[in-house]
Amino acid sequence: MVIELVHVGFGNVLAMNKVIAIASPNSAPTKRTIQEGKNKGLLIDMTNGRRTKAVIFTDSGHIVLAALAPETITGRLQVTRGGSVLKAEQSDEKGEL
């Protein structure tokens, strides 16, 4: 099994094959989940004191806070997989480059 490591800022890397979801930290349910993870000792803060822009949920139940946006993290994953990252503003009306 190949482990895909992705840089999530400030010298921190994350094993993406263990990630279930990447969410924005703005919703009330996500904030509650972060607090529950903190109380259970399952919270991993990789923000280095910066503002949290992504909340990453792992298959082990850990919750990882990152200072990079979810789009940035998924873009880095696509680059490591050798795929291209296509943003909506880069495509024309037919969905082609």
The SS3 assignment for 74 reads helix
**Dist. CA 77–CA 35, nearest whole Å:** 27
pTM: 0.81
pLDDT at residue 43 in the model = 98
**Dist. CA 52–CA 55, nearest whole Å:** 8
47-93 tens-digit pLDDT: 999 999 999 999 999 999 999 999 999 998 888 777 755 554 444 44
- In total, the chain counts a number of residues equal to 97
Q: Is the pLDDT of residue 94 over 90?
A: no
Domain ranges of the chain: 16-82
pLDDT at residue 97 in the model = 43
β-bridge pairing 12-15 and 5-9 = antiparallel
**Dist. CA 23–CA 31, nearest whole Å:** 11
